[in-house]
Structure formats: structure tokens, C-alpha cells
Amino acid sequence: MSAVLTPRPPATGPRSDFTVIGLVSLAHGCSHFFHMLLPPLFPVFIRDFGLSYSQLGLLVTVFFVISGIGQALSGFLVDRVGARPVMFAALSCFAAAALAAAAAQGYGGLMLAAALAGVGNAPFHPADFTILNKRVSQPRLGHAFSAHGISGNLGWAVAPVFLIGLGSISGSWRVAYVAAALVPLAVLLLLLLHRHTIDDRRGAWLHEQAGQAAAPAEHALAFLKLPSVWLCFSFFFWTTAALSAMQGFAGPALARIYGLPLSATAFVVTGYLLCGAAGMVAGGFVAARYKTLERTIALAMAAAAVLLLMVASGLLPALVAGVVAALAGLGTGLAAPSRDMLIKQASPPGATGRVYGTVYSGLDVGFALAAPVFGVLLDGGRPQGVFIGAALALLMGVASAALVGRQLRAVVAPRAAAAD
């Protein structure tokens, strides 16, 4: 199997490329916004519905179990019917999820909102990367990956401020959720107006170029035999477990360890995600300059782990602890473009949706399994465990990335020798 996933878009220029990147990134940011549909208001649900953090962690699990299973399956759907219609349907599900949250009268209503948001989230990575790989020219593909990752972090960062801010201004968290329903509808309208620009049926892969020998047809599940695919899956699992700790539980943990008010800790989480976005900007240049991707990942994520362990120590001044926790996002963001390039190198041609669907489902599994664990740590009076667990998960991600790099070199070296 070749590792080329580079597209040959139909006669495009910079303007077309940047339009595609902007539209897909906007949709991706919306999907990440809906990752955070419920967690920012966990303290409100505890107050109004008498729920525990363990119960609220289960809501996150439901979201990501549905999203993870759906993501792996939707990769096949994207490869069969195209990315564009699947993306349109996903945005509609997000609007329904926000309205379900606005109407919730208890745990069951919140569970419905989590389930609908999970269905909406499922197709995004297969759809996004299919469109980008087919409609963006090779010189700007790396920038496309960087912008895509940044938009996700911005979606995560905006959600807490949007929901908590509108809830405070209006005096009702239900109003905030009604407003949230308008976000995917606005994005959907914009994509419909530019539907020809993101039509992935008009792209073509390099290995399909005229005059090039056609590769022998392989079974649709043949990519599952590649060890590198499953190592990438494990990398996403571990790094997302750390992210789950920061998104859903870092705020309450900081409040308990350092006595920071919840209003301040919400901005710490937003700062972590904004630092991640800044790290991705730098990481795009680093990934282009340094070819040993796993080394970049290791250094960046190890530094982030050290910062989180410093926060867990409880020895820092309260405000310094908040700043250090936010700065840890720089390390995870710096590693992200190198991560996406590793997946690109590990993927066979023509199976974009399937590979990205499978690999990125590791993200969903990481969120689904980690959230209840960190919820139990908080309920059990061990807030330091949130940051210690996140740091350990990042270090496990470093190990997975190293194994991916070793596996790829083991495959490429014999091919290079045979070519000589």
C-alpha cells in the first residue's frame, strides 16, 4: 500500500484553496463547539438537577461513545456518498442537540442532548479531511491541516465563554442553548451558499491520474491490517484522555486545590485551548521544517506533562497555577500538526474517510472512558488526580507516537532500498 493521500484538485488556485480551508475549518470549529455543549454548565446542572460529577461524566461518555462508533462507520459513508451531504446532516443534528438541552427538565433531557450531539459529531473528521485532501492543492495542504486544527481549538475555547456568558447576561442557561442552536444553522446556510466549493466529488487522488497504472483493488477493510493505523488510534486515545481532564474537570479541580472561583477557572480552560491554537500555528511550521515528527511530538507533549504536574503539586500561587495550566496547551497544540502528518503518512490511498474515521474514533474513545474516571476522582476528593492523570496520559501518547514513527520507518526503508 502506498502512503500517498495527496489530492489533485481540478484547476484550483490560492483563492479557491483558502475558501475551501475557511469553510471546512469553520464547520470543524462548530463541531468542537458542540463537544463542549454540556461541560461548561456542569456546576449549573448540579445546582438545578442535583447531579454528581460522576453522572455528568457519563453524559460525556454517551456523547463520545455514539460519536466514536459513528465516526468509524461514517468514514465508509463518506467514501460512498461523499463528504458534503454528510456534513450538512451533521450540522442539523447539532441544532437539534442544542434545542434538546434548552428544553431539558432533568438528567434524561441532558442525555438526549448528549446523544444528538454525538450523532452530529460523528462524521466530521472523515468529511473534513476528505474535502481538504481532494480540494486543496499540495503546496497549501499543510496549512489546511494547521487551520483545521486551530479551528477545533477555537471552537472548544469559545463554547465556555459563549454559554456561560450568555447564561449570565440573560439570567437563564436555557436562553444560551437556544442561541447555541443558531450557530450550526448559520454555518449550514453558509456552506449551502458555497456548496460547489466544497464538493468533494470534483477532486481526484494522485494515484488516479490519467496514464498512471491503477492500483489493484483491495478489500474495504484492508487498511485495518496496518499496525500504524492502530498506533495512531492509541495516540489519539491517550492525548484525548488528557484533553478530557482539562476540558471537563480542570476548572473544578483548580477551584478545590487553589480556591479559585469557578468564573476564573472557566477562563483557564479557555486559555488552555487558545494556547493550543497558538501552538498549532507554530507547530505547522515545525512540522514542515523538521521531518522527525515523533520527536517534535515527544518534546512538546513532555513539556506539557511537566507543567500539569507542577499544577498538581498544589505548591504554586493560585493565579500562577491557572496560568501554568493554560500554558500546557501550547505543548499539545505544537504537537498537533505533526500528529496529522503522521496519520497522512500512515494512510493508504483512496481510503481517506475510513482511515480518518477509524483513527479519530480514538479521540471519542478517549473522551468516553476518561470522563467518568476524572469525575470519580473529583467526587472522591482527589482533585490533584485530574492533573496527574492528564500528565500520565500525555506521556503515554508520546510512547504511541514513537511507535508510529518506528513502524513507518520500518515500512519505508525496504521500499527505498528496493527503489535503489
Average pLDDT over residues 283-303: 78
Residues 242, 303: Cα–Cα separation, whole Å: 14
For residue 218, pLDDT beyond 70: no
Average pLDDT over residues 263-287: 81
Map out the domains of the chain with their CATH numbers.
16-199+224-411 (1.20.1250.20)
Specify whether the CB–CB gap between 251 and 229 falls below 8 A.
no
Specify whether the CB–CB gap between 113 and 101 falls below 8 A.
yes
Alpha-helical runs (H) found in 194-316: 227-244, 250-258, 262-289, 293-312
For residue 98, pLDDT beyond 70: yes
pLDDT in tens, 49-67: 999 888 888 898 899 889 8
Q: In degrees rounded to 5, what are phi and psi of residue 416?
A: -65, -40
C-alpha cell at 121: 459529531
Higher pLDDT: 342 or 28? It is 28
Nearest to 101 by CA among 178, 167, 193: 178
Per-residue pLDDT at 212:
42
CA distances 246 to 145, 157, 300, 337, 366, Å, are 23, 12, 17, 20, 13
**Per-residue confidence band for 88, with pLDDT thresholds at 50, 70 and 90:** very high
Specify whether the CB–CB gap between 349 and 5 falls below 8 A.
yes
**Torsion of Cα atoms, 27 then 35 then 109 then 168, to 10°:** -90
For residue 291, pLDDT beyond 80: no
% of the chain residues with pLDDT over 70: 82
Return the top range by mean pLDDT from 171-180, 234-243, 360-369: 171-180
Residues 223, 355: Cα–Cα separation, whole Å: 7
Of 56-65, 209-218, 252-261, 336-345, the poorest mean pLDDT is in 209-218
Specify whether the CB–CB gap between 277 and 150 falls below 8 A.
yes
Per-residue pLDDT at 5:
43
Q: How far out from the chain centre does Cα 271 lie?
A: 17
What are residue 205's DSSP bridge partners?
7
Nearest to 35 by CA among 126, 146, 155: 155
For residue 78, pLDDT beyond 80: yes
Average pLDDT of the chain, as a whole number: 82
Nearest to 9 by CA among 117, 144, 118, 111: 144
